[in-house]
Chains A and B, each alone.
Chain A
Amino acid sequence: MTGLGKDLVGLEHLSPEQIRLILDTAEPFKEVSERPIKKVPALRGKTIVNLFFEASTRTRISFEFAEKRLSADTVNVAASGSSVSKGETLVDTARNLEAMRIDMVVIRHGSSGAAQFLGSRIRSNVVNAGDGKHEHPTQGLLDLLTIRDRHGRIEGLKVCLVGDILHSRVARSNLWGLTKLGAEVGVCGPRTLLPRGIEELGVQVFDRIEQAIEWADVLNVLRLQLERMESGFIPSLREYYRVFGVTAERLAAARRDLTIMHPGPMNRGVEIDSRVADGPHSVILDQVTNGVAIRMAVLYLLAGGKPELADAAKRAGGAE
C-alpha cells in the first residue's frame, strides 16, 4: 500500500510505512514556514472546507495556516450559527458543500466515527481533526514528529501518556502511532480514567507518576478536562495535582532528563507545573510548530498521489 488513500481518519489503519511517509513529507514543509513568503502553490485552485462542530482554536488555526501556505482556498464553517443549528444532518451539510464543488473537508465532530462516516459518503477527501473519543490523527502525527526531532528516532523509546486516557482521542492516536513505529508505550493516571484491559494491548500501566517518570524517556501530559471532576472520575483538581501532577520536584528526582509534551490547551497547576511547561525540556511549542508542517504534508499527500498517472509521467522521459 503506497500513498494515503482518499481520507485520513485515524492512525489505526495506517501502516508504519504510511506514517513514515507523512513524517518525511512534513520535513520540507517546515522550511516553507521559515521563508520570507510563506507560501507554495502546491494546492492552488483546491477548495477546502473546515467543518468544526466542536470548539477548537489551535487545531483550526493550524489547519487554516497549512491550507493557506499551500495556496488552497478555504472556508470555515462552525456549527453554531450555521444550518447545523437548524437541524440539518451531517451528510446533508456535506452534500450541500460538495454541490458547490469543494475538494476536501477537514472535520471536527463530537461523535466517534463521524469522519469515517462522512468519508464513506462523499467524494471529497476527508481529514479527521478529532472525532469524539476516537482519534485525532494529525495530533498523533505531530507528536511523533516532535519526538523524532528531539531524539532522532522513535523505535525503542519509552513514551508515557499521563492523565485521562479513557476519554482522549489524542491518547488513542498516540497509542497507535507510537506502537506502529516501535516505541514502548506506558500510561499513567487514576484507574477511573484508564480504559479497562489496556494492559492487554502491551501497554505498561503506572499507578504512580513517580514510577512513570522513572521509566520514561518522554512524558506526553494530556489535558484533564475539567468536567471530569463533576462527573465523578476524580475527587478534586487539587488532589489530582497532588497525586498525578507533573512537577519540577518529581522530575528532579529522575535519573535522566525527560522530554515533556502537552497537546494543549494546558491547565497549569492541574496536570502540569508551570516550571515544567516552560522549562528547558518542554517541547510544547515545537509541537505547535510541527502541527502546521504535518497538516501541510497530510493535505498535500491526499490531494496528489494518483499512481497510474505518475507511472505514465515517468514513462514519458527520463531525467528532468
Chain B
Amino acid sequence: MTPHNDRSILLDARAFARALQRMAVEITELAPDADQLVLIGIQRRGVELAERLAQLIEKDEGVTIPRGALDITLYRDDLETVGPKPVIGETRIPGDLTGRHVVIVDDVLYTGRTVRAALDELADFGRPRRISLCVLVDRGGRELPIAADVVGKAVKTGPRDRVDVGVQELDGKDEVTVRRGGQA
C-alpha cells in the first residue's frame, strides 16, 4: 500500500477558483461569438466543472451558455473491463449541436480514451462547427493523439500515480491532489 504522506495538494480551493476563472477567459478567447458556445461536461465531475465555467462566462459576457452532460460508458473501447456494476450516468444534450461550438469539459486528461469516446458520442448528436477540449488537470500519459485547448493545471505523473479531483457539490470541497505510487 502507498503511505498517505505521498499525497500532495496540487490545487487548493483558492488555486482551484483562480484556475477556473482563467479557463473561463481562455474559452471566450477561443470562441469570439460566445452565443454559439455549448459546454458539455463529462460525467461525473466534468458536469460540475462545466456548470461553474458556464456561470463564469455568463457573468463576464452577459450571454446564456447552454450546458449538457455526457456519459461515455457506452462508447468505451473496454466493455469487458468496465466491471460487473457499471454505473451509467445521465446524458443530457441541450438541443441540436449542428453548427455550434462545443467545449468538452472534463476534470482530468490522461490517456485520451475518454475524450476519444466523447468525440464519437457527440457525433451522434449532430455536427458541431467546432469541438474544443477544456480540462482542469492535464496529467500527461496520452495513448492517443489528443490535446487539450484549455488547461487549468498541467502536471507530470507516472502510471502508478493517482490524480483525484474533488468538487464542492460532490466532495464537500474544491481540491486536486496527487498521490505518488512510486516507480512502475
Q: Interface on A for B, CB 8 Å cutoff? A: 2-4, 21, 24-25, 27-29, 31-32, 35-37, 39-43, 70, 300-301, 303-307, 309-314, 316-320
B107 within 8 Å of A (CB atoms) = yes
Instruction: Name the contact of B86 in the complex, choosing from A31, A304, A309 (C-beta under 8 A).
Output: A304
- A3 partner residues in chain B, CB cutoff 8 A: 84-85
Q: Give the contacts of B88-123 with A (CB-CB under 8 A).
A: 88-91, 96, 106-111, 113-114, 120-121
- A41 partner residues in chain B, CB cutoff 8 A: 74-75, 120
Complexed CA–CA distance, A316 and B78 (Å): 14
Q: Give the contacts of B12-47 with A (CB-CB under 8 A).
A: 45
- The answer to whether A310 and B74 touch (CB under 8 A), given A35-B125, A304-B86, A320-B109, is no
B62 within 8 Å of A (CB atoms) = no
CB distance from A141 to the nearest CB of B (A): 16
CB distance from A69 to the nearest CB of B (A): 10
With both beta carbons as reference points, the residue of chain A lying nearest to B42 in the complex is identified as A320
- A36 partner residues in chain B, CB cutoff 8 A: 96, 124-126
CB distance from A216 to the nearest CB of B (A): 33
B145 within 8 Å of A (CB atoms) = no
Query: What are 19 A-B contacts with C-beta separation under 8 Å?
Result: A28-B89, A28-B90, A29-B88, A36-B96, A37-B125, A40-B75, A40-B121, A41-B120, A42-B75, A42-B76, A304-B80, A306-B83, A307-B84, A310-B82, A314-B83, A317-B162, A319-B107, A319-B164, A320-B113
CB distance from B18 to the nearest CB of A (A): 21
**Contact call B75/A317, Cβ cutoff below 8 A:** no
With both beta carbons as reference points, the residue of chain A lying nearest to B123 in the complex is identified as A37
With both beta carbons as reference points, the residue of chain A lying nearest to B163 in the complex is identified as A318
With both beta carbons as reference points, the residue of chain B lying nearest to A310 in the complex is identified as B83
- A320 partner residues in chain B, CB cutoff 8 A: 106, 108-111, 113-114
Complexed CA–CA distance, A4 and B84 (Å): 8
Q: Give the contacts of B128-178 with A (CB-CB under 8 A).
A: 141, 159-165
Complexed CA–CA distance, A312 and B83 (Å): 10
**Contact call A305/B82, Cβ cutoff below 8 A:** yes
CB distance from A108 to the nearest CB of B (A): 26
CB distance from B178 to the nearest CB of A (A): 9
